[in-house]
Amino acid sequence: MRAQPFANCLLLGLVLFVLATPGFAQDDARPRKAKKSRPLTEYMGREIAMTMHYAGAEWLIRNEREREERCSLLLDNLGLKTGMTVCDMGCGNGFYALPIAKLLGPRGRVLAVDIQPEMLFLLRERMELEGIRNITPILGSVDDPYLPEQTVDLAILVDVYHEFGFPEQMLAALRKSLKPNGRIVLVEFRAEDDDVPIKPEHKMTKRQVNRELAANGFKLAAEFEELPWQHVMFYEADPDWQPKEDR
């Protein structure tokens, strides 16, 4: 075997190893925890949806999305400011991460988390094409986003929370990642509206969102109800909440 092909094989193997490592792009990634249970299929009376496969990534950047969901209107109402650190949880191929990174300016930072390395590969391709440097891709796991603690000003979860197989663990990790005045915002398709053309398991009612978030240490801080299909609900950490084991 010639030296060059052998070296190329070693390099490819190293790349694949890195891509498969949780938190591989994080500045202070923690070691992976052993799973203590299987992902839930139901939580607080709600069916948990399957995670969207990376093979459907093109749907995320479809031409009709702006007309259907008014994505620019959402961006205008997130309260983004230059210099913020924003987490895009379930970032996919970067549909929101890229414009958010531009709005935050060079001193801002986007922590783009996804559990599928293929999605992060697509994100990196789009970052390179647009010359964006202030996004940090993070390979999370199903029960840990591998976020640094007390770092995030805003964590945005667009049509992703309802897919969490470990909702309590993920919300606990998000809570720890927030700065003292940080918020998370859930954007979920309205289950109250039968005209929203989305499968039922991928929709949530406001009542269900509030029930689950309150049970995990968050309180509703603000809402935005001007999108055609989705709720937009902002939450802050509830200082009076106590974890189950402390009650």
Can you give the CATH number for the domain in which 125 is found? 3.40.50.150
Q: How many domains does the structure of the chain reveal? A: 1
Q: How many CB atoms lie within 10 A of CB 156?
A: 27
* Long-range contacts of 210-213, Cβ-Cβ distance < 8 Å, separation of 24 or more: 211/44, 212/43, 212/44, 212/46, 212/167, 213/171, 213/186
pLDDT(7) > 70: no
170, β-bridge pairs: none
pLDDT(21) > 80: no
Our CA dihedral for 226, 42, 117, 129, rounded to 10 degrees, sits at -10
Give me the domain span that covers residue 187.
3-246
The residue to which tokens 């049970």 are assigned: 215
pLDDT(29) > 60: no
The residue to which tokens 């005045």 are assigned: 181
For the ranges 47-56, 73-82, 85-94, 158-167, the lowest mean pLDDT is seen at 47-56
Task: Tokens for 193, please give them.
Answer: 């509206």
Mean pLDDT of the chain: 89
Length of the chain: 247
Using pLDDT thresholds of 50, 70 and 90, give the confidence band for residue 33. low
Q: What is the pLDDT of residues 75-91, one digit of tens each?
A: 999 999 999 999 999 99
CB neighbour list of residue 92: distance below 8 Å, 6 or more residues apart:
52, 57, 60, 114, 119, 122, 123
- In this structure, the strands spanning 218-224 and 203-204 are unpaired
Phi, psi of 146 (to 5 degrees): 55, 50
- Spatial contact of 231 and 225, defined as CB atoms under 8 Å apart: yes
